A and B are shown apart, each in its own frame.
Chain A
C-alpha cells in the first residue's frame, strides 16, 4: 500500500481555512517526488460536504470526523482523534497550518506521537537523498534554519500565504472516508464560545499602509488610513502604537503581531527593527517614508522617500484623489 502525506484541514464555522488548500498544493508537489499519496483529515460539525473541496485542491483521500460535539475546537479531543488516525494510517509526513489553532494543536499531537515537529515553516524541499528539508525562520526572523526530522511522521506547521494556492479542479477524483467521531469530548476543557471577532484581517490584505512612532498623534492614523483606503488597502502599525493604546492589536505587524505578505507595503515613520521586519519582510514591494536617511527600513525597501511623512503623505493623498476624481481635495 502506498503511504501518504497527511494534511490537516482547519475549519471554523464549518469553513475551511485557505492555508489548508495551500498545504494540499505543496503536499501534492512533494508526493509526486516521493511517490506518496495525499491524504487530508477534517474535524468539525457540518463539514462532511466540504470534504470534496479538499479533493478538488489535491487530496486523494479525505478522512472526515463530523459531529455536533466537535463544533468547537477542543485541543484534547482533536488531538486524540489525530493521534488515533496517524496510528491507523501511518503517514510519512503530517502538515498543519501555522495558525494560532494549528500552533496550539500540532505540538500536542507531536508530543503524543513522540515525533519531531518543526514550527512555522516557510518552505519545504526534498533533497537529493529524498529527505524532506523544512525551512523556517528563527531568531526573530534573523535566520533561516534548514531542518531534518529523524522520526516518523515528519511533522511541520506551515505559515499561511507562503505556499502558492493550487488550482481548484472539480474533475479530480478521490475517496471520502467517514470516520466514527469519538463518543465524548474531553471535558477537562470547555469552550464557552467566541467572545469577539476580529474586525480586520490584515494577513489577507493586498495593500498595507503602516504607521510607526514617527506619528505624533493618534488622530494622525486617520491620514494613513485614508491613504490605505485610496490604494484599496488596510491600516497597519508598529507595536509601540498598540502599546500606547492608539489602535487594536489586530493592526500590528511584526514578530508579536501579524505576519503579512501584501503586494505593497508602505512603512511610514517606522525605523525597521528586527521585530517589525520579521512580520513584513516578504512583502512584494516595500516602500519606506522616513525622515532619517540612516533608518534600517531603507535597506529593506524597494522605494524610499527620505522626508517628513507629514508632508509626503498628504501630498500623495491629494494627488491620488485628483487622479481618482474624488472631490474635496
Chain B
C-alpha cells in the first residue's frame, strides 16, 4: 500500500439479464437485444468489497470494463456506487475476444494506470460463465490471486488475508499487489442513493481504444485475432425429453409413491 491508501481496481462486465434474454432453439441464436443489460451480478460484490475497503483504509477505486459503448451505463452505475474513476475499453479490435484475449486487454489497461495494490473481480459472469478472466489477468500481470474469496479478514501495508471457499474453506495470506475473485457471500451490495446517482452523472467516463493500450500489449493479441478458442456452433437445448407425467388431486401422492417404488428408491 502506498501513502495514499489502497489503490483498488475493479473489473466489471455488462451482461444481458438472463431472465429476459431469448434463445432461438432452431437457429441457435442468442438475441442479446431482447434483454436489458445489467452489470454482472457477481461484479457488484467485487465493487462493494472495494467500497468497504476504501471506507476503512482510504485510497481509490478505478473500475474498468471492456465492451461495447453501452457498457458506459454499468460504469456510470459503478461511479454512483462509490468508484472514483471509470474506464471503458471499447474498439472493434477488442471485440470477439475469448478469455485470454480479454485478459490481455484488461491487464494492459491496468498496467497503463501506473500502480495498483488490489484487483477485484466477480467469481464468474452469467453469460461467459468461465471464471477464467480473473486468474488469467493475474497471470499476465504476474501477481498472486485467490479465487472464490468469501471473506476478507485483514489488510496490512503489504499483505491481505482472505478465506477462499473451495468446497472446504481455506485461509490464505497473500502479498500485495494481488487479485481476488469474490463470491456472493462476501457482502451485500448497497444501492446507490439518488444523490450518488446525480453526482455520478457529472463524472467523466474515459474511453480507451486498442491504440491506447499498444504500449503495454501487442494489439494483435486482442479481440478475435488474439483469441485461441473458436465457437463452432451454439446449441440451445430445447426442453429436455422429460416424461412430463403430471399427477393431480387426492391420490397424487400415492401415484408418486408408485413411481418411487418402481425406481427402487423406496425399499422396505
- B244 touching A139, Cβ below 8 Å: no
- A305 touching B256, Cβ below 8 Å: yes
What residues of chain A lie closer than 8 Å to B248, measured between beta carbons?
A: 305-307
What residues of chain B lie closer than 8 Å to A151, measured between beta carbons?
A: 228
CB distance from A103 to the nearest CB of B (A): 5
- B174 touching A189, Cβ below 8 Å: yes
Given known contacts A145-B231, A188-B144, A312-B252, A139 and B100 CB-to-CB distance under 8 angstroms: no
Q: Complex formed: what's the CA distance from A305 to B258 in Å? A: 13
What residues of chain B lie closer than 8 Å to A165, measured between beta carbons?
A: none
- B23 touching A306, Cβ below 8 Å: no
The segment from A29-37, A46-54, A59-67, A190-198 that touches chain B is A190-198
What residues of chain B lie closer than 8 Å to A101, measured between beta carbons?
A: 166
B165 in the interface, Cβ–Cβ < 8 Å?
yes
- B245 touching A111, Cβ below 8 Å: no
- A189 touching B144, Cβ below 8 Å: yes
0/1 interface trace, chain A 83-118, chain B, CB 8 Å (1 if under): 000000000000000011101111110111011111
B198 in the interface, Cβ–Cβ < 8 Å?
no
What residues of chain A lie closer than 8 Å to B240, measured between beta carbons?
A: 281, 300
A186 in the interface, Cβ–Cβ < 8 Å?
yes
Taking chain B's interface residues, is the majority helix, strand, or loop, or is none over half, making it mixed?
A: mixed
B220 in the interface, Cβ–Cβ < 8 Å?
no
In the complex, which residues 104-154 of chain B have their Cβ closer than 8 Å to any Cβ of chain A?
Answer: 123, 126-136, 138-140, 143-148
Task: From the candidates B30, B161, B239, B252, name the one contacting A143 in the complex (CB within 8 A).
Answer: B30
A8 in the interface, Cβ–Cβ < 8 Å?
no
A140 in the interface, Cβ–Cβ < 8 Å?
yes
Q: Complex formed: what's the CA distance from A311 to B121 in Å? A: 45
A146 in the interface, Cβ–Cβ < 8 Å?
yes
Task: From the candidates A104, A138, A231, A264, name the one contacting B128 in the complex (CB within 8 A).
Answer: A138
B260 in the interface, Cβ–Cβ < 8 Å?
yes
- B144 touching A76, Cβ below 8 Å: yes
A179 in the interface, Cβ–Cβ < 8 Å?
no
A71 in the interface, Cβ–Cβ < 8 Å?
no
Residue on B with the closest CB to A189?
B144
What residues of chain B lie closer than 8 Å to A12, measured between beta carbons?
A: 168
What residues of chain A lie closer than 8 Å to B228, measured between beta carbons?
A: 114-116, 149-151
Q: How large is the interface on A (under 10, 10 to 19, 20 to 34, 35 or more residues)?
A: 35 or more
The segment from A166-174, A215-223, A318-326 that touches chain B is A318-326
CB distance from A91 to the nearest CB of B (A): 16
B247 in the interface, Cβ–Cβ < 8 Å?
yes
- B98 touching A316, Cβ below 8 Å: no
0/1 interface trace, chain A 271-310, chain B, CB 8 Å (1 if under): 0011100000100011100000100001111111111000
Q: Complex formed: what's the CA distance from A190 to B227 in Å? A: 33
Q: Complex formed: what's the CA distance from A207 to B265 in Å? A: 9
Residue on B with the closest CB to A302?
B243
13 other A-B residue contacts (CB within 8 Å) besides A117-B100, A148-B229: A73-B170, A104-B146, A140-B18, A188-B178, A189-B146, A189-B173, A191-B171, A192-B173, A263-B265, A300-B240, A302-B245, A305-B247, A315-B253
Q: Can you sample 20 A-B contacts with CB below 8 Å?
A: A76-B144, A107-B133, A107-B135, A107-B136, A108-B135, A117-B229, A143-B236, A143-B237, A147-B230, A147-B232, A194-B168, A194-B170, A256-B183, A264-B263, A303-B246, A304-B244, A316-B253, A320-B257, A320-B266, A325-B268
- 7 tightest A-B CB contacts, nearest first: A116-B228, A119-B130, A111-B139, A100-B166, A104-B147, A107-B135, A192-B171
